[in-house]
Amino acid sequence: MIFSRRQLIMGLIWGPLLASGRSFGDLFNRRPLVVPRMTIMGASSCLGYVKAVLPQWERQYGPVHVAVSGGGSYAGLRALATGQVDIALADVMPPPGYIGVPVRRYVLGRLPIVIVAHQGVGVKQIACDQTRQLFHGTITNWRDVGGNNLPVVVVSRPLSSGAREVVQTRLMGRSQFSAHSIIQLSNGAVIKTVADTPGAIGYVEAVMPLWRVQIMAVGNRAKPPEKASNRKLYAEPAVYIRRETRALVISLAEYLANDPRRPRFGIYPLGSEEGSPC
């Protein structure tokens, strides 16, 4: 028997379908694979760690897509409260009632914050009162603290930053940052601005190599502690999720809170030391 090309093609299509007991319409009625999606938003200090360890978790759970973005601690918490994200990253404790919905908090650890200055300021140690006055704008030239004749340029973070909250609470007290501060949205932007701006002073969470800047010893210490984990000025980054949420979200939150690679990204186990470096 001789078959035409059309008959041959139809046989190739219908043969497997008839053998499986399915109809031709099944080819068009199959549902596409739905890939679970999650969103994470918040403190930029945690993004490097989260993005580095996330692929391993994704491989464990098969097809899943997780979108990660910064924006600051308070922005992440607000997005969690309004249901825009599944997980918020925050390195500051939110004020009572700020989130407005029941949440679970998973502490990641201790994240040291260091005071940094341009390498040309001519001084490596400053007293606590001097630090406050430099950031406030009361001291306007580095020669007034024993340094070089350079105008002081203050570099700070926005109000949504957890690092700013920590520095304000534990170091600045009632003193406010200079109204002429240069505001940068991330640790990386602060480091670059301080390194490139003669006379600049700022603060960063120690989650990256602090190249091309002078790490300042603040207070009575002769130098900063050799171990970053021993610095008293620190944030406590945490993962926040809604109390009622998907099991997949809970799994990821617990994974982030327990991954042993956290110290590689500047997040150390919580210690017993408390309070201000001053």
Q: What is the DSSP string of 59-104?
A: HHTSS-EEEEE-S-HHHHHHHHHTTS-SEEEESSPPPTTSS-S-EE
Q: What pLDDT, in 10s, does the model give residues 41-87?
A: 999 889 999 999 999 999 888 788 999 998 889 999 999 999 999 99
User: CATH number of the domain that 135 lies in?
Assistant: 3.40.190.10
The string of DSSP letters for 142-179 reads GGGGTS-S-B-EEEE--TT-HHHHHHIIIIITT----T
Residue 277 included in any domain: no
Whose CA is closest to 235, among 212, 203, 190?
203
Statement to judge: residues 42 and 148 lie in one domain: no
Residue 150 included in any domain: yes
CB 104 within 8 Å of CB 257: no
Residue 259 included in any domain: yes
User: Confidence class of residue 15 from pLDDT cuts 50, 70 and 90?
Assistant: low
Q: What pLDDT, in 10s, does the model give residues 197-247?
A: 999 999 998 887 788 999 999 986 544 444 544 456 899 999 999 999 999
Query: What residue numbers bound the domain in which 117 lies?
Result: 111-230
Contacts (Cβ under 8 Å, ≥6 apart) of 23: 17
Residue 97 included in any domain: yes
Tally of CB atoms within 10 A around 271: 12
User: Confidence class of residue 175 from pLDDT cuts 50, 70 and 90?
Assistant: very high
Statement to judge: residues 126 and 172 lie in one domain: yes
Three-class DSSP category at 187: helix
Q: What's the total number of domains in the chain?
A: 2
Statement to judge: residues 62 and 76 lie in one domain: yes
Statement to judge: residues 70 and 208 lie in one domain: no
